[in-house]
Chains A and B, each alone.
Chain A
Amino acid sequence: MATETPGIAAVGRRAFLRWATAIGGAASALLAGVPAVRAFLSPTFRHRREEKWIRLGEVDQFDPDVPTKLDFVDTVHDAWVESRRLRNVWIYTEDGENFRVYNGRCTHLGCNYFLDEEKNVFRCPCHTGFFGIKTGEVLGGPPPRPLDTLEVKVENGALYARYQDFHLGVPEKAEV
């Protein structure tokens, strides 16, 4: 070895350098490693869901007992890719004060249902599902649950709905 009998100073210096290496190495690994690991695991962290309140129109423009369809363009974020999708909701009010807003997709497989004006029910053309206009209950056909109602609020005389999509084809109403 370098010196036959290392002096006290050399022993002390070497012990210090060993510790310095261990601590310095660990510190470097943590400093660069923690942000790297956090960023990598980032998708598993809880994300705040953005609340999409859609302005549907003035409260008094909706006639009582007549379901109204409203199309709107939704901006969808898929990581850094932004795309636009055409969505629609149905608005129903019995008294002009209390509103029910239904997600425009049939709860069976997501087709757009329409208003069957003769029978005054919602009818889905894909597999002939029927829903009531007042509560969205299933009147017939394969849909597993009633129409999905959306959260509604009235502000300054305007009607808003919070748009959400739900899992299709299952009895429970669970947000996507």
Chain B
Amino acid sequence: MAVFFRWLDERLDLVRAKRELLDREVPDRLTWWHTLGSATLTVFLVQVITGTVLATYYSASPDHAYDSIRFVTGEVASGALLRGIHHWGASAMVVLILAHMIRVFSVGAYKYPREVNWVLGVGLFLIVMGFSFTGYLLPWDQKAYWATAVGTNIAGTTPVIGGALVALLRGGSELGTATLARFYAFHVLWLPLILTVLVALHITVVVRQGIAARPRDLETGAPKSTRDPKYPEYYHAAYLASKRGGVRFWPDILGKDAIVSAATVLVLVLLAALLGAPLEAPADPTDTSYVPRPEWYFLPIYQLLKLVPGSLEAAIAVGVPSILLIVLIGLPFFDRGSTRNLLHRPVAMVSLAVLLGGAGFLIGAAGQAPTATAEGAALTSVQRAGRALYQAQQCGGCHRISGQGGEEGPDLTSVGLRHSAGWLHSFVESPSRFHEQSRMPSYGPPALSHQEIEELAQYLATLRGREQRGAPAPQFYDTFPAPRRP
């Protein structure tokens, strides 16, 4: 072992690399808040591990995506836990990266000389939001479908390029097969690649510039503005002084990072084990009664849109995030004061408070808003086959479900409350047996096979007026005509 290590060291100069990377001195008094960045990185690694395995059981096609998610949750060993970790990991990434940004903001660590790394960090934040947005659609359940429908519609309200943007996001005019395929490709190929490169740059810059010292070490006797020609000289002297009597990167800093990271992973696994990951009924593009709610970190903008008049919607939906983004990127370039402590930066303090307070208020308001979300039980494979038949046979040409469809025939929205599957089966087979004047063609063989009629009947029996809250218990009024004598 020692011989091999010496052989390697002779060629790769490992000892010097360790000295420069691990034994390097960093300013003392780094707080536990400094561990947020590394905790984010740890959760990203967890997402890579869990995501890679989940991908081996996933099918990125609308016909099979939902079933493959049910398969991994129900049939694969530890599959439900794995999906739970990935689900909660996504939220953890957002929480940690936001907390990390707030800490950096609070100690003015984005100021000279760390402007570049701040911009890289904003890029990382955008990529993480991109992960959320694309990953959200993959289970292809109601929530996934409708949240993405709304999300892409918001992009469509962008002035001038809106239409092109929607087509680009959806891979066509409608949300469907092409959308799922491209969201999947972005989620597992492009975004991880970009994120990895940005993380590598982000960390390289941290190593080259050193960890920022606490504000007070960089404030006493500083020129008022970081634009002052004397500022760089002042900064480097002050930073060097702050490292005197500092600590070693390993294990003083990394040790703390490891403790917080391990605790984070533990919390993730606990959440996954106790709460799991949600999965609603399969996506149903014809179900207009569904009220979509986005994931919590998109709730502020969701709630904001409800508060503004429709004419302003486009301006708010695209404008507010765009302005916030421009402010974030531009922050280190227009904020040139050399004061770093948040308590001495009134404008920054008030802005942060307003932003966090506003977002918190909107999330709270969105949380209280009533939702008409019916927790639809997942359809069985037979019922889903029936729904496909309903569409394939153009039943909607004459019948309505939840306001969608033709006016010729009776409304089927709550037909499952009035009739049993058995009755529906007999009726579809030969409507004229029940009503001599029925204009509905009989769908008995050979139009549909016996099994197909049963599938259709099973599906129709699930239609129980989902738009009404607290729908009444099923009451059947099945009356069968007297059997026909041959």
A and B found bound together? yes
Q: Are B77 and A2 in contact (CB under 8 A)?
A: no
Chain A residues in 8 Å Cβ range of B262: 23-25, 27-28
Q: In whole angstroms, how far apart are the Cα atoms of A82 and B381 in the complex?
A: 8
Q: Is chain B's interface secondary structure helix, strand, loop, or mixed overall?
A: helix
- Which one of A13-21, A104-112, A142-150 is at the interface? A13-21
Complex: A32 Cα to B85 Cα, angstroms: 8
From 236 to 268 in chain B, residues with beta carbon under 8 angstroms from any chain A beta carbon are 245-248, 251-252, 254-256, 258-259, 261-263, 265-266, 268
Residue of A nearest to B253 (CB): A17
Indicate the member of A17, A41, A45, A82 with the most B CB atoms within 10 Å.
A17
Q: For A80, what are the chain B residues with a Cβ–Cβ distance below 8 Å?
A: 57, 59, 64, 67-68, 70-71
Q: Are B251 and A36 in touch, CB under 8 angstroms? A: no
Report the Cα distance A20→B262, complex, angstroms: 9
Contact of A39 with B245 in the complex, beta carbons under 8 Å? no
| B residues less than 8 Å from A23 (CB atoms) | 262
Q: Are A79 and B71 also in contact (CB < 8 A) when A2-B246, A31-B269 are? A: yes
CA distance A3 to B57 in the complex (A): 53
Chain B residues within an 8 Å CB radius of A40: 53, 56
A38 partner, pick from B49, B78, B269, B381, beta carbons under 8 A: B78
Interface of chain B residues 67 through 126 with chain A (CB within 8 A):
67-68, 70-72, 75-79, 81-82, 85
In the complex with contacts A2-B246, A14-B251, A35-B259 CB distance below 8 A: no
A14 with B252: in contact, given A32-B49, A39-B79 (CB under 8 Å)?
A: yes
Q: Return the contact of A21 from the options B82, B254, B451 (Cβ within 8 A).
A: B254
* Distance in Å: Cβ of A87 to nearest Cβ of chain B: 14
Q: Is A176 an interface position by the 8 A CB rule?
A: no
Asked whether any CB of chain B lies closer than 8 Å to the CB of A8, the reply is: no
Please indicate the chain B residues that have their CB under 8 angstroms from the CB of A13 in the complex.
Answer: 252
Residue A139 is within 8 A (CB to CB) of chain B in the complex? no
Report B64 CB to chain A, min CB distance, Å.
6
Whether, in the assembled complex, A81 has its beta carbon less than 8 Å from a beta carbon of chain B, the answer is yes
Count contacts on B: residues with CB < 8 A to the other chain: 46
Whether, in the assembled complex, B429 has its beta carbon less than 8 Å from a beta carbon of chain A, the answer is: no
Contacts of A3 in B (CB 8 A): 245
Chain B residues 281 to 339 lying within 8 A of chain A, measured CB to CB, are: none
Asked if A82 and B245 sit within 8 Å, CB to CB, the answer is: no
| A1 close to B (CB within 8 Å) | yes
Q: Is B23 an interface residue (CB 8 A)?
A: yes
State A16–B258 Cα separation when bound (angstroms). Answer: 12
How many angstroms from the CA of A80 to the CA of B63 in the assembled complex? 10
Q: Could you say which of A21, A38, A75 contacts B77, with CB atoms under 8 Å apart?
A: A38
| Contact residue among A17, A33, A45, A75 (Cβ-Cβ distance under 8 Å from B251) | A17
Tell me the complex Cα distance, A84–B262, Å.
48
Interface residue B46 (Cβ < 8 Å from any Cβ of A): yes
> Do the beta carbons of A32 and B265 come within 8 Å of each other?
yes
B-side contacts of A75, CB under 8 Å: 381
**B265 near A17 (CB under 8 angstroms)?**
no
Q: Looking across the interface, which residue of chain A has its beta carbon closest to that of B263?
A: A24
Chain B residues whose CB sits within 8 angstroms of the CB of A45 once the complex forms: 77
Q: Is B50 an interface residue (CB 8 A)?
A: yes
Query: What 18 additional pairs, Cβ within 8 angstroms, besides A31-B268, A79-B57?
Result: A2-B25, A2-B247, A2-B248, A13-B252, A14-B252, A18-B251, A20-B259, A21-B251, A21-B255, A27-B262, A27-B266, A32-B265, A35-B81, A39-B79, A40-B56, A45-B77, A79-B68, A82-B67
Interface residues of A (CB under 8 A from B): 1-3, 13-14, 16-18, 20-21, 23-25, 27-28, 31-36, 38-42, 45, 73, 75, 79-82, 84
Q: List 7 A-B contacts (CB under 8 A).
A: A1-B25, A13-B252, A27-B262, A32-B269, A39-B76, A42-B75, A81-B64
